[in-house]
């Protein structure tokens, strides 16, 4: 449990809150004025500080500014009377996490403390992620701390020291092209060209001349000799992306260059030799295509000297927080703004299935950065399909607890709705009750039922 410092000159109020919070398991310290508060915050390990606006020897806002500059990692909550709302807003701008209007109930204080503890936890998790970010196994821009990604990094490092052809398989958006670039940049060929070719985007009738080049007069419009991609990649690496889209007729022409690194330009009789490493990639199952007769078996085995399978993002969800932090860090540097993700949004992002994989995640973060009003990314800032998933996920999280009887499931849903309303009403029961459509007394009864630990 966290430790709390209560700073107020009302001794009776301090005593009541101290006893009540201790019963809830918190370590509680008190101070009756600014001077005493300065000593205790310096000498004691406290996480959350409640500050009254009016203290005998100083102004609460001034004390808040002093403390936030000296102890920025702590959380400060302001306590103010009804007539001091404007001062409370000023204090929030000065660094307060929240404020409570006096006279306050212990239930209100408990809710604000729980919110503060959750915020501390998120901040600590972010710090851990940032530290982990520095220590994560990385190959160029490929990212991940999961065991499956670490194995891929090891394989990439090993294969990069060889000249073996590599076949990279995985869904679209998983990072196959980045793996190919990493193999090239880690190899002795790194100073030579890396030439990517998307085989699916080039019409079949142009693919041969695109890869192998042509001689002047080879066909109508061939007014001069033209180098192909293989010649351009000489000494380096050629990356044949979407190799599964190549027709069987052209597969036969690719076989020669994969076997002995020779090819014949279109319209020529000369056999050209090339020193090039071949890396191919596909989002299709080439083994199944071989069995169905849609892909040549001999070409498959020539390309597949070393095979690397890139898992989908849903297969390595442990990497999602780390990837989010990586993308956010890029936007922080670019925009000079300290972007962060709301904890509810983070929960949804970690549970979403990401059919577009890492590419979809990166695009979603970019969209949220553009749409966010401040520096915190909320779920409403993300694309519609993720927002729709959130709406379905809200109830499924409790409804799918199949081992619980229906009354317990309903209680769990009710607790979530109450917490959400209290959060939106900044801990004020009357406003939360109005949102929920129930009386204040009914809400206080339910809060006592669900959240009291006494």
Mean pLDDT across 309-316: 90
Domains annotated on the chain, with CATH: 3-133 (3.40.50.2300), 147-311 (3.40.50.300), 315-441 (1.10.8.60)
Which are the contacts of 175, defined by CB distance < 8 A and separation ≥ 6?
Answer: 142, 310, 357, 358, 359
Give the CA-trace dihedral at 75, 80, 83, 86, to 10 degrees. Answer: -10
The residue that leads in pLDDT, 54 or 304, is 304
The lowest-confidence range among 6-20, 98-112, 351-365 is 98-112
Contacts 24+ apart (CB under 8 A), 355-359: 356/172, 356/173, 357/171, 357/172, 357/173, 357/174, 357/175, 357/312, 357/313, 358/173, 358/174, 358/175, 358/313, 358/323, 359/172, 359/173, 359/175
Q: Over 90: is that where the pLDDT of 366 sits? A: yes
| Confidence (pLDDT) at 390 | 66
> How far are the Cα atoms of 14, 106, 157, 215, 227 from residue 223, in angstroms, in the given order?
91, 86, 44, 9, 13
5 - beta bridge partners?
29, 49
**pLDDT category, 130, cuts 50, 70, 90?**
low
**pLDDT category, 364, cuts 50, 70, 90?**
very high
Q: How many helices (H) and strands (E) does the chain have?
A: 19, 14
pLDDT digit string, tens, across residues 403-446: 566 666 677 778 778 877 776 776 677 888 888 888 887 888 78
376 vs 337: CA distance, rounded Å: 10
Mean pLDDT across 92-114: 80
E strand residue ranges, 74-144 = 75-81, 98-102
Which are the contacts of 205, defined by CB distance < 8 A and separation ≥ 6?
Answer: none
Task: Using a pLDDT cut of 70, give the percent of the chain over it.
Answer: 87
Question: What stretch of H or E contains 307?
Answer: strand 306-309
**pLDDT category, 299, cuts 50, 70, 90?**
very high
**Helix 248-260 and helix 204-212, axial crossing angle in degrees, nearest 10:** 10
Whole-number mean pLDDT of the chain? Answer: 84
Q: Which two tokens stand for residue 246?
A: 């190549």
Task: Compute how many other C-beta atoms are within 10 angstroms of the C-beta atom of residue 173.
Answer: 20
| Confidence (pLDDT) at 454 | 38
Q: Over 90: is that where the pLDDT of 381 sits? A: yes
Residue 207: strand, helix, or coil = helix
pLDDT digit string, tens, across residues 226-244: 889 999 999 999 999 999 9
Mean pLDDT across 387-393: 69
Mean pLDDT across 264-283: 91
CB 94 within 8 A of CB 61: yes
The residue that leads in pLDDT, 51 or 410, is 51
pLDDT digit string, tens, across residues 163-215: 899 999 999 988 899 999 999 988 889 899 999 999 999 988 789 899 998 88
Q: Over 70: is that where the pLDDT of 399 sits? A: no
- Measured between alpha carbons, how far apart are the two ends of the chain, in Å? 16
| Confidence (pLDDT) at 276 | 94
Q: Over 70: is that where the pLDDT of 132 sits? A: no
328 vs 307: CA distance, rounded Å: 32
| Confidence (pLDDT) at 293 | 92
Q: Where are the alpha helices (DSSP H) in 200-342?
A: 204-212, 229-232, 248-260, 286-291, 297-303, 320-335
377 vs 186: CA distance, rounded Å: 36
Mean pLDDT across 335-345: 89
Q: Over 80: is that where the pLDDT of 137 sits? A: no
**pLDDT category, 392, cuts 50, 70, 90?**
low
| Confidence (pLDDT) at 398 | 47
| Confidence (pLDDT) at 176 | 92
Mean pLDDT across 246-271: 89
Mean pLDDT across 253-282: 91
The residue that leads in pLDDT, 406 or 146, is 146
**pLDDT category, 140, cuts 50, 70, 90?**
very low
């Amino acid at each position: 449990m966290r430790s709390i410092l209560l700073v107020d000159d009302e001794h009776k109020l301090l005593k009541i809150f101290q006893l009540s919070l201790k019963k809830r398991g918190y370590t509680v310290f008190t101070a009756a004025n600014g001077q005493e508060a300065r000593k205790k915050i310096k000498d004691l390990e406290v996480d959350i500080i409640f500050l009254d606006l009016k203290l005998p020897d100083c102004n609460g806002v001034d004390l808040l500014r002093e403390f936030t500059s000296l102890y920025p990692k702590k959380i400060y909550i302001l306590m103010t009377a009804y007539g001091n709302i404007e001062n409370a807003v000023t204090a929030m701008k000065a660094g307060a996490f929240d404020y409570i209007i006096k006279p306050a109930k212990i239930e209100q204080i408990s809710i604000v403390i729980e919110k503060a503890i959750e915020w501390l936890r998120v901040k600590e998790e972010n710090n851990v992620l940032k530290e982990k970010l520095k220590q994560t196994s990385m190959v160029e821009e490929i990212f991940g701390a999961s065991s499956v990604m670490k194995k891929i990094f090891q394989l990439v490092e090993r294969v990069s020291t060889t000249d073996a052809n590599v076949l990279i398989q995985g869904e679209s958006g998983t990072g196959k092209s980045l793996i190919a670039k990493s193999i090239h940049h880690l190899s002795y060929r790194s100073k030579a060209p890396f030439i990517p070719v998307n085989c699916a985007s080039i019409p079949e009738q142009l693919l041969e001349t695109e890869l192998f080049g042509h001689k002047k007069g080879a066909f109508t419009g061939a007014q001069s000799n033209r180098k192909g991609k293989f010649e351009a990649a000489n000494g380096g690496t050629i990356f044949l992306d979407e190799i599964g889209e190549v027709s069987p007729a052209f597969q036969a022409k690719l076989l020669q260059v994969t076997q002995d690194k020779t090819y014949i330009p279109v319209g020529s009789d000369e056999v050209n030799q090339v020193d090039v490493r071949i890396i191919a990639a596909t989002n299709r199952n080439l083994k199944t295509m071989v069995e169905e007769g849609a892909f040549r078996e001999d070409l498959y085995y020539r390309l597949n000297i070393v095979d690397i399978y890139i898992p989908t993002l849903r297969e390595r969800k442990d990497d999602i927080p780390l990837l989010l932090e990586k993308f956010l860090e890029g936007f922080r540097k670019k925009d000079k703004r300290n972007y962060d993700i709301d904890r509810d949004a983070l929960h949804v992002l970690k549970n979403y299935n990401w059919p577009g994989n890492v590419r979809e995640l990166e695009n979603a973060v970019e969209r949220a950065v553009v749409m966010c009003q401040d520096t915190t990314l909320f779920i409403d800032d993300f694309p519609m399909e993720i927002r729709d998933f959130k709406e379905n996920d809200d109830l499924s999280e409790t409804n799918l607890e199949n081992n619980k009887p229906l009354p317990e499931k309903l209680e769990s849903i009710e607790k979530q709705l109450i917490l959400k309303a209290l959060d939106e009403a900044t801990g004020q029961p009357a406003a939360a009750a109005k949102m929920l459509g129930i009386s204040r007394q009914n809400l206080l009864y339910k809060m006592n039922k669900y959240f009291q630990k006494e």
